[in-house]
Amino acid sequence: MQKFTTLTGIAAPMPLVNIDTDMIIPKQFLKTIQRSGLGKNLFDEMRYNQDGAEISDFVLNQPAYRKAEILVVGDNFGCGSSREHAPWALLDFGIRCVISTRFADIFFNNCFKNGILPIVLPQDAVDVVMADAGKGANARITIDLLSQTVTTSDGQIFGFAVDSHLKHCLINGLDDIGLTLEKAALIDAYETKTAMTRPWV
Instruction: Provide the pLDDT for residue 184.
Output: 63
Instruction: Provide the pLDDT for residue 180.
Output: 63
Cα dihedral 107, 108, 111, 113 in deg (nearest 10) = -100
**Architecture (CATH level 2) of domain 6-197:** Alpha-Beta Barrel (3.20)
Regions of the chain where pLDDT drops below 50? none
Q: How many helices (H) and strands (E) does the chain have?
A: 8, 7
Instruction: Provide the pLDDT for residue 39.
Output: 94
Cα–Cα distance for residue pair 201/194, rounded to 1 Å? 8
Instruction: Provide the pLDDT for residue 178.
Output: 66
